[in-house]
Amino acid sequence: MKCERQITVGAKSRLKALAELRSRFGTAKTLQHAAFRFVNRFFHFDCLHVIVLRRENLRPLDPAKAARLSTKIATLEQLKEMKKQGCWGLPEKTVDYFKRGDTCLLSYVDGNLAGYTWALESRCPTLVVGLTLSVPREYLYNFCGFTHPDFRGYGLQSFRHHALLNHQQWRDRKGLLGFVVHTNCSSKRGQDKSGYRRIGKIYIIGRGHKLYAHLGRSLRSMGIRRINAVQAKDEVRQTDGRT
C-alpha cells in the first residue's frame, strides 16, 4: 500500500517536472529529455557535453540579483543534517566525498539555504559509474550543482561559479571544467549565463560498469582522457604528494 502511494507520488512529481520543462523549453526538447531519461533507466545511452568556463569569459552578475545571494563552504555536520532532511538531492557518497577532500559550496537566498555545488579535490572525476577521466590540473572540476526547486531562477548557478573562481583556494586555476547531460536545458541555460563554452562531447553506451565511451578529438587534444581505477588511484596519490 505504502509502496503504491510512493509510486503515485513519484509519477506525479515527474509529470509536474515534465510539464514545467515543456512550458520553459517547448514540446520537442521535453520529449527528447523524457525519451533519453527513460532509456537510461535500463542502460546508458547518452551524450555528455564537456564544458569549460575560462576565467576571462566569466560574465558579470546582475548586481540587483546578486545582492540577495551568498555562499559558504559546508561543514560535515551541515552535510549530514541536509542528508537527514532528504530534500537536497545530495549525492549518495556525500560523506565520502567530503572525507576525500572535495569541497561543497552552499548557496543562500536572503540567508536561506537554497542549493550547493561541489569542487573536486583530485583531477580524476568519475562522470558516471564506470567512466573516470583524467583532466588538466589547471582547471577546477565542478560537479553536482543543485538548487532547491523553491529557489530556482534566482541566478544561483552563475553566482556559485563566480564564488568558486573568486575563492582564494582556486585563484591559480584557469577556470572551471564540468559536464552536462545534453538534455538538461535548465543547467545549460545557467551555464551559458556564466560564460561556459562547450569544448567537446562524450558519447556513452553500455550497462553498469561496462561502458563504451567515445571522447572527441578536441577533448583528447586538451589532455582529457579516460583512465581506469588503478590509474585514477595513482593520479590521486601523485596529487596528494604534490600538495
Ligand X SMILES: CC(C)(COP(=O)(O)OP(=O)(O)OC[C@H]1O[C@@H](n2cnc3c(N)ncnc32)[C@H](O)[C@@H]1OP(=O)(O)O)[C@@H](O)C(=O)NCCC(=O)NCCS
Site for ligand X in 6-45 (CB under 6 A): 20, 24
- In this structure, the number of other CB atoms found within 10 A of the CB of residue 106 comes to 21
Q: Inter-axis angle of helices 185-194 and 2-25, to 10 degrees?
A: 50
Residue 71 binds ligand X (CB under 6 A): no
- Near ligand X in 121-180, by CB under 6 A: 145-147, 152-158, 180
The verdict on 190 binding ligand X (CB under 6 A) reads yes
Contact by Cβ (8 Å): 52, 224:
no
Closest to ligand X by CB, 99 vs 189, is: 189
- When the beta carbons of 78 and 239 are compared against ligand X, the nearer one is 78
Interface segment toward ligand X; rule CB under 6 A; list 130-138, 169-177, 186-194, 206-214: 186-194
Residue 192 grid coordinates: 551559458
Closest CB to ligand X among residues 98, 196: 196
Tell me whether residue 139 or residue 146 sits nearer to ligand X (CB atom): 146
189 binds ligand X (CB under 6 A): yes
Supply the minimum distance, in Å, between the C-beta of residue 233 and ligand X: 26
| The three cell numbers locating residue 17 | 517536472
Name the residue nearer to ligand X (CB basis): 107 or 134.
107
Q: Which is nearer to ligand X, 12 or 189 (CB)?
A: 189
Helices (H), the chain: 2-25, 27-39, 63-66, 76-85, 94-99, 156-166, 185-194, 217-221, 229-242
Q: What angle do CA 121, 50, 103 make, to 5 degrees?
A: 20
List, in sequence order, every residue forming a beta bridge with 227; answer none if it has no partner: 132
Grid cell for residue 231: 590509474
Q: How far is the CB of 213 from ligand X (least distance, A)?
A: 18
Provide, rounded to whole angstroms, the least separation between the CB of residue 62 and ligand X.
10
Angle, vertex CA 209, rays to CA 206 and CA 213, nearest 5 = 50
Which stretches of the chain bind ligand X, using CB under 6 A? 20, 24, 145-147, 152-158, 180, 184, 186-187, 189-190, 193
